[in-house]
Each structure stands twice: as C-alpha cells, then as structure tokens.
Amino acid sequence: MVNMKINKIIKILAIIAMISLAVFGYALFDTLTYTEDIDLTMQLQVSDYVGFNIDTDAIYFGTVTPGGSSERIVTINNTEQYSTRVRILTGGDLAQWVSASENNFRINPLEERNITLKVKVPANTSYGNYTGIVKIRLKKIYI
C-alpha cells in the first residue's frame, strides 16, 4: 500500500520533472541568448542654411549644408545589476553617413555612457530630407 503511494508520488514528480526540464531548457536558452533592441529614428535635412532641432524624442541632426556635419549625444544607462554588451547598428538613408564615437563595448552595472553619433554629409548631396534608424542592441554578459 505504502509502496503504491510512493510510486504514484514518483510518477507525479516525474511528470513535473519532465515539464520542468522543458521549461528549464527554454529559460536557460532564453537567458543565454537574451538581447534587447532599442530603435531610435534619425532625421536630417540638407539645405543651404544651418538648422537646429534639439528635441529628444528622436535623433534630429537638424539642417546642414552639403559637406557639413552634425552630432547628437545619446546617453546609455545600464539599469541592471549585470554587465551588458552594446552594439550600435544603423540603417536607412543615413546608414552610410553616420558613425558612433564607440561601438561594441561593455557597459557595467549601473554605469552611464555618452555616445556621440555623427553624420557627415557628402559634398555632392542634394537638398532634401533624409532619415534612418539607429538600433542599440544590448546583450547580457555572464562573464
């Protein structure tokens, strides 16, 4: 009688263990490969005057003349208790013109880092509006 109860408990535990194993595997995989992407829109106008737009809801490079350049600073603040690797990727019209002051770096727990994004407009650029995306990719570091 006692043995039957023990066997039943073990069977239940075994089922729970199988479910836990699946959850454990998924959670471990998710943790080890965890990344977070933060996308910011970039905007630039090329014209015959200088224009500033220091609004903070996107990266506005303002208005520059062909051959000119513009910079904005982005502050990255690690709010977690673990280190994170930061990669900065760009896309869109401005991808080839934009560079970051540093890239692919480690940011320690609770550390704050200022990154300067600079757009250099080629001298032969036509007047008009140009847009792009800067993707800040954050990956948890375990070591």
Partner 1 sequence: MDSKKIMMVLSMFLIIGSSYLLFGNYNNFTTGQGGITGMPIATASVEVTAISQISMPVNSVSFGATEPGATKDTSKDSPPPFKIQNDGTVSVNVTIARDSSSAPLFSGTGGGDNTASFQFAANETVAEPGSFDTTTSLMSWTNVPGTTPITFLKILDFATSGDEAEVELRISVPIDEPAGVKSEALMFIASQA
If one asks whether residue 102 binds partner 1 (CB under 8 A), the answer comes out as: no
Is residue 36 within the footprint of partner 1 (CB under 8 A)? yes
Contact present, 123 and 77 (Cβ < 8 Å) = no
Q: Which stretch binds partner 1 (CB under 8 A): 20-28, 89-97, 98-106, 124-132?
A: 20-28
Sign of the C-alpha dihedral computed for residues 17, 18, 20 and 24 taken in this order: positive
Nearest distance in Å: CB 103, partner 1:
15
b/e burial code for range 47-85 (CB count within 10 A of at least 16 → b): eeeeeeeeeeeebbbbbbeeebebebebebebeeeebbe
Interacting positions 41-100 with partner 1 (CB under 8 A): 45, 49-81, 84, 86
Least separation, in Å, of the C-beta of 35 and partner 1? 9
CB-CB contact of 86 with 138 (8 Å): yes
**Element housing 66 (H / E):** none
How many residues touch partner 1 (CB under 8 A)? 60
Stretch that binds partner 1, among 91-99, 125-133, 134-142 (CB under 8 A): 134-142
Could you tell me the smallest distance in angstroms from the CB atom of residue 133 to partner 1? 13
